[in-house]
Amino acid sequence: MFSDIFRSRIIETTIGIGTVVFVSVLTFQFLKKPRKISRIIDTMEALKKSNVHIKNRDHVEEVVSQFIKDGPSKLQVISDFDHTLTRIHLNGKQCTTTYGILDQGPFCTDEFKEKSKSLFNHYHPIEVDPNLSRAEKVPYMLEWYTKSVLLMPTSGISKSSVPEMVETSNVCLRDGCDAVFELLHKKNVPLLIFSAGVGDMLKQVLQKKNLLLPNIKIIANFLRFDEKDKLLGFKDELIHTFNKNKGSIKNSDYFETLKTRNNVILLGDSLGDLDMAAGVQNLNSILKIGFLNYKIEESLQEYMDNFDIVLTDDQTMDVAFVLLQSIL
């Protein structure tokens, strides 16, 4: 009898406490601050893919919001060319760089072809080696580019072959590159293509797609030919993977004329590409988008530490396009 009363008291007390807790939780939910509206970048489908890596989403959100607020008149875009605007692979086959165009097909001597390819096989693994520092790579890159240029007079390549060389090569712009170029052109946003590749080939790749638009400026290694149009080497001082900075665009008033465009989107595939914006005047905000093409697992952390958005094995321009669409 006594224990029945005791049991029912315990049940009543438990129900009482339960009710108090329930009401308190409801009240807390009701009174607490409204949930933060989701970030703009979180609404972008292209940024939700598993190959999109962002170390600091708040930072990216802050920069993108700033760019949206400032609009097209404050923006400029700086991009690398080889394996940034162009694909790494297509239908299971590796796509070449602008240098590769030189040693493909019947336009050059077999000796040049063989030597160029063996230079590539030796130096390219060094270029993308995650265990070597930038300082350790620089002398090798200089050696590679210098040897490549010294080989050029033996190539037998003539100026008139350039359009056909590009036509028959497998250099291919990333999917959606045309949409990005057309949008930038439409909104009068300057695009600097800053390349350590071969300028003549780069121009021809764009020309054949009708993408050599007036808002584009190209800084690259342009070819020098003799009076009989035979290839001799490069015209100007060498641009290589790790000197893509303001030193390589001296005598150019490019950034001076754009000094009111303080917001920059930078696109690159090498850590050396991070220097491309070094000459920008009065830089306000920069959004760095990196394509990680080689040694993905080993290099991902370093790329995420240096680029704001890292895209692994992405053969498209979807992320850049969706961001530009929201800004422009």
CB of 223 to ligand TMP, least distance (A): 13
Q: d(Cα 12, Cα 7) in Å, to the nearest integer?
A: 9
Determine whether 103 is an active site residue: no
- From 80, 269, 273, 275, active-site residue: 80
Q: d(Cα 173, Cα 117) in Å, to the nearest integer?
A: 22
Q: List residues near ligand TMP by CB under 6 A.
A: 80-83, 97, 99-100, 116, 119-120, 127, 144-145, 148, 195-197, 241
For 178, counting Cβ atoms within 10 Å of its Cβ (0-12 exposed, 13-18 middle, 19+ buried), the class is middle
CB of 130 to ligand TMP, least distance (A): 15
Q: Residue 155 binds which entry of Mg ion, ligand TMP, none, with Cβ cut-offs from 5 to 8 Å by kind?
A: none
Strands (E), the chain: 52-54, 75-79, 89-90, 93-94, 191-198, 216-221, 223-225, 231-234, 263-268, 285-292, 309-312
CB of 226 to Mg ion, least distance (A): 29
Give Cβ neighbours of residue 230 (< 8 Å, ≥ 6 apart). Answer: 153, 156, 157, 158
Q: d(Cα 309, Cα 288) in Å, to the nearest integer?
A: 6
> Cβ of 163: how many Cβ atoms within 10 Å?
13
- From 4, 58, 82, 318, active-site residue: 82
In the bound state with Mg ion, the residue whose beta carbon lies nearer, of 80 and 314, is: 80
Q: Residue 195 binds which entry of Mg ion, ligand TMP, none, with Cβ cut-offs from 5 to 8 Å by kind?
A: ligand TMP
| Total of chain residues touching Mg ion, rule CB under 5 A | 5
Q: Residue 148 binds which entry of Mg ion, ligand TMP, none, with Cβ cut-offs from 5 to 8 Å by kind?
A: ligand TMP
Cα end-to-end distance, the chain, whole Å: 80
Token code pair at residue 232 = 């001799």
Contact predicate 52/319, CB 8 Å = yes
CB of 253 to Mg ion, least distance (A): 25
Residue 53: name the closest of 289, 298, 311 by CA: 311
- Binding mask 256-295 toward Mg ion (x if CB under 5 A, else -) reads -------------x--------------------------
Token code pair at residue 300 = 């991902």
Q: Residue 144 binds which entry of Mg ion, ligand TMP, none, with Cβ cut-offs from 5 to 8 Å by kind?
A: ligand TMP
In the bound state with ligand TMP, the residue whose beta carbon lies nearer, of 148 and 263, is: 148
Q: Residue 318 interacts with Mg ion (CB under 5 A)?
A: no
In the bound state with Mg ion, the residue whose beta carbon lies nearer, of 64 and 102, is: 102
Binders of Mg ion among 95-114, rule CB under 5 A?
none
Contact predicate 203/209, CB 8 Å = no
In the bound state with Mg ion, the residue whose beta carbon lies nearer, of 41 and 141, is: 141
Q: Residue 112 binds which entry of Mg ion, ligand TMP, none, with Cβ cut-offs from 5 to 8 Å by kind?
A: none
Determine whether 82 is an active site residue: yes
Q: Name beta bridge partners: 173.
A: 86
Q: Residue 241 binds which entry of ligand TMP, Mg ion, none, with Cβ cut-offs from 5 to 8 Å by kind?
A: ligand TMP
CB of 155 to ligand TMP, least distance (A): 12
Contact predicate 309/288, CB 8 Å = yes
Distances (CA, A) of 280 to 35, 193, 218, 260: 38, 14, 15, 10
In the bound state with ligand TMP, the residue whose beta carbon lies nearer, of 60 and 191, is: 191
In the bound state with ligand TMP, the residue whose beta carbon lies nearer, of 218 and 300, is: 218
Which chain residues interact with Mg ion by CB under 5 A? Answer: 80, 82-84, 269
The residues annotated with a catalytic role in the active site are: 80, 82
